[in-house]
Structure 1
Amino acid sequence: MTMDTAFDQGAPTRPAPATRAQFLASDDKAMLRAARDLTKGLGTARGAYYWPDMLLSVLVGYGAMAGAILVESVPMAVVLGLVSSLALYRALMFIHELTHIHRDALPGFRTAWNLLVGIPLLTPSFMYEGVHTLHHKRTQYGTVEDPEYLPLALMKPWSLPLFVLIALLAPVGFLLRYAVLVPLGVIIPPVRKLVWERASALMINPEFRRKPAEGDFRRRVMWQEFGGFIWAWTLLASTQFVGWRPLLIGMAIVSFTAVLNQLRTLVAHLWENEGEPMTVTAQFLDSVNVPPPGLAAEIWAPVGLRYHALHHLMPSMPYHDLPEAHRRLRSELGELSTYDGANHPGMAVLVARIAQSTMKRRAAD
């Protein structure tokens, strides 16, 4: 299928971009070929981008958190807490990059990220590695075997606010997991199995069950879980010396980060698939780009996540090359192409679209 056959050229008005339904059976081969050919020269993860970006985010995030804990002014503490949350959110989103770049691409980056971000925020990289890649599998995307997919647009209206607000409890859940369930699992194997299958992945599909870790990955899991266990109890023990205020402020900051990430997740896809396998093009059109000129998306979808649909076309493309890849494809394929069908103006429009879909579903029921 070519770009010209994807639209009604004889229509008197400007045609709309292609929809996901048009490509459930076959791919837009012209777009896929363009994605391959137009991005030559891109795709190499460069430490000159990753290291300064991650380290600066960490420095600002923890520095602002310390300020929020130490200052006496409540308004200033709130401002510093917000800055901390946004900076740590950006640092945390590098977990997405770690699942896609080759493990030898950036020597030391994975370990440094886990020590500086993953373990301190109780979300080490094993909670995404080996799980997120299932979301990109051609035959698993949007099915019950996809850990990161729920047909939210086809669910009840109350499911959307519940989906977002449940993220408020993330810090409590992580603390409970590492401080209590990890050591308990060492003593009671069935607990360990349950925790691994249902509470060891950053997933949204409650039906997903994680398979056992094997080989070198299993060894990485063990040291990351041990680090999380030590850090969780360090946080709890600190309350005996400095009180609960620092921990509660830190947890509030992480809660806001979790909610922001859940909002981003809510608009990362259109969530219109009912469980059937989809073509790559249909998966792309069920995903979302929020490209420039808007600046807000760079805050709520950092580290390349504003190009989430493009990422589904080229999962191994590093975040710093996605803007250029988008520019080339958009310039070559044009406004009325299939590619343009995944480009959306912002979060508010996307939330309204999904909410409207749930209301229509309710009316139909």
Structure 2
Amino acid sequence: MTTADSGQKVAIPWEPRLVTAMEEFSVKEAHTLLHGLFRPRMAVYWADFTLSLLVAGTAFWAVGPLGGLTVGGMAAFLVSVLAAYRCFAFIHEIAHFRAKKAFGPFRIWWNALFGIPMMVPVFMYECHGEHHNRKLYGTRQDAEYLPLARMAPSTIVGVLFTPLFLPFFGPYRFAVLTPLSWFVPRVREYLYRNASSLKLDFEYRGRQPKAEEKWVWRGQELLCLAWIATVTALVVGGVVPVGRLVQWYAMFAAIALVNSLRLLAAHRYLGDEDEMSIVEQMMDTVNHPRARLLAELWAPVGLRLHALHHLMPGLPYHSFPRAHSRLVAGLPEDSAYRLTESPGMAYTLRRLWRESRAHKKAGTLLDRQALKEAAV
């Protein structure tokens, strides 16, 4: 069986109704419905990110005078987490539009004011293109994917525990490994292969920087190191209270936790490490069109409509609401696109958990059957 637009063999044993919907779906028709929505409006990017950064910074500062354990302090902390998380989400847009000249200044602005201070410089997301590659999506060469629906539930739990340790990654990567890599080639090779990508799959191996990227990457590494050194000096000198460092750790861990939940809800993770067509990628991904204001908090900057993004990765985030409305109005009610919808994060996470448990149970039964047969 092949999909309508790609002619590729379907890699996942989809339900019959989904197979029919996929066969009838036309990427070309969907693209036609979205005519005029593909041009990024840079004023929106600049205003949204800058305002979000101001809100995050103000709320982070306000925790001090309000008191971290007061109602006001906790509210300010929550605002700082959500606003900073929205700032972080712009790295996704930067990765998709890095080839556009208009994004050059915005990329520098984002990196200088957020990427470097948070120790997530833009070069660490260069791997994102592989997540949209037809041959690499869902395979071992996709840093942002694990076949979680086919793995033990403990793997999902592990994804949710990782944020506790992520705040330590930046200081270790840039203050320890980076200086060592300048003098020890083997450390430098390890650094780019294992510690230079934002990834869900820890077994993913990154690439070395290209010749034209070498000094750009190293420059960002140096700036991160300088930032860490400056903050350390301010804390040791008593200019910045140690409590603020603890607050930063808590904020970073909270952002990472929200992002982990968002990642788990972004896909169905049914892949078997084989190639997927665009339509299959869309069906393996989830849209959360309901409760828009709430969804914008945990999946900001267009990430709540993730199936739409995988269908049309060249669509800027500010066009997503209008694009979704056009597709819903212009495509049949039983369209494959409509079948990607979820009523909310909780529903999506429960479904992933059920599928993971069912797979584990099926695997256990097969193992027992194999043991019986071997005994006979």
- TM-score, length-scaled by structure 2: 0.88
Is residue 37 from structure 1 mapped to residue 28 from structure 2 by the alignment? no
1:5 matched residue in structure 2 = none
2:10 matched residue in structure 1 = none
Give the C-alpha shift of residue 30 in structure 1.
Answer: 4.2
2:330 matched residue in structure 1 = 332
Deviations 1:42-72 (A, max 9, x none): 1111112101100001000011111113433
Is residue 196–residue 210 contact of structure 1 (8 Å, CA) maintained in 2? yes
Among 101, 104, 111, the residue aligned to 2:101:
104
Structure 2 CA distance for aligned equivalents of residues 243 and 56 of structure 1: 26
Q: Name the % identity.
A: 37
Q: How does 1:23-172 map to 2 (within 5 A)?
A: 28=23, 30-72=25-67, 74-75=69-70, 76-101=72-97, 102-129=99-126, 131-172=127-168
Is residue 34–residue 329 contact of structure 1 (8 Å, CA) maintained in 2? no
Is residue 31–residue 338 contact of structure 1 (8 Å, CA) maintained in 2? no
Opposite residue 263 of structure 1, the aligned amino acid is L
Structure 2 CA distance for aligned equivalents of residues 320 and 57 of structure 1: 15
2:288 matched residue in structure 1 = 290
2:206 matched residue in structure 1 = 210
Give the C-alpha shift of residue 295 in structure 1.
Answer: 2.8
1:10 matched residue in structure 2 = none
Give 5+ residue unaligned stretches, structure 2. 5-14, 365-376
Cα distance, 1:22–1:168 mapped onto 2, change above 3 Å: farther
Give the C-alpha shift of residue 293 in structure 1.
Answer: 4.5
Cα distance, 1:352–1:247 mapped onto 2, change above 3 Å: same
Structure 2 CA distance for aligned equivalents of residues 354 and 324 of structure 1: 29
Aligned length: 348
1:223 matched residue in structure 2 = 219
Tell me which moved more, 86-95 or 161-170.
161-170
1:7 matched residue in structure 2 = none
Deviations 1:92-121 (A, max 9, x none): 100000011133123410000001110011
Deviations 1:163-197 (A, max 9, x none): 11212211111121111111111121111111111
Deviations 1:21-50 (A, max 9, x none): 568xxx646430122211111111111210
Cα distance, 1:73–1:277 mapped onto 2, change above 3 Å: closer
Is residue 179–residue 229 contact of structure 1 (8 Å, CA) maintained in 2? yes
Structure 1 CA distance for aligned equivalents of residues 360 and 16 of structure 2: 27
Is residue 196–residue 212 contact of structure 1 (8 Å, CA) maintained in 2? yes
1:317 matched residue in structure 2 = 315
Cα distance, 1:32–1:230 mapped onto 2, change above 3 Å: same
Among 215, 218, 237, the residue aligned to 2:233:
237
Is residue 141–residue 277 contact of structure 1 (8 Å, CA) maintained in 2? yes
Opposite residue 178 of structure 1, the aligned amino acid is F
Structure 2 CA distance for aligned equivalents of residues 66 and 124 of structure 1: 23
Cα distance, 1:18–1:220 mapped onto 2, change above 3 Å: farther
Aligned residues: CA RMSD: 1.9
Cα distance, 1:100–1:224 mapped onto 2, change above 3 Å: same
Is residue 17–residue 337 contact of structure 1 (8 Å, CA) maintained in 2? no
Structure 2 CA distance for aligned equivalents of residues 220 and 328 of structure 1: 40
Is residue 283–residue 312 contact of structure 1 (8 Å, CA) maintained in 2? yes
Give the C-alpha shift of residue 74 in structure 1.
Answer: 1.6
Is residue 164–residue 262 contact of structure 1 (8 Å, CA) maintained in 2? yes
1:272 matched residue in structure 2 = 270
Is residue 288–residue 305 contact of structure 2 (8 Å, CA) maintained in 1? yes
Give 5+ residue unaligned stretches, structure 1. 3-15
Give the C-alpha shift of residue 292 in structure 1.
Answer: 3.4
Structure 2 CA distance for aligned equivalents of residues 292 and 271 of structure 1: 21
1:200 matched residue in structure 2 = 196
Give the C-alpha shift of residue 334 in structure 1.
Answer: 3.0
Structure 2 CA distance for aligned equivalents of residues 78 and 293 of structure 1: 24
Structure 1 CA distance for aligned equivalents of residues 351 and 244 of structure 2: 39
Is residue 45–residue 106 contact of structure 1 (8 Å, CA) maintained in 2? no
Structure 1 CA distance for aligned equivalents of residues 86 and 177 of structure 2: 28
Opposite residue 90 of structure 1, the aligned amino acid is R
Opposite residue 72 of structure 1, the aligned amino acid is G
Is residue 59–residue 76 contact of structure 2 (8 Å, CA) maintained in 1? yes
Structure number with the higher helix fraction is 2
Opposite residue 133 of structure 1, the aligned amino acid is G
Is residue 25–residue 335 contact of structure 2 (8 Å, CA) maintained in 1? no
Tell me which moved more, 215-224 or 161-170.
215-224
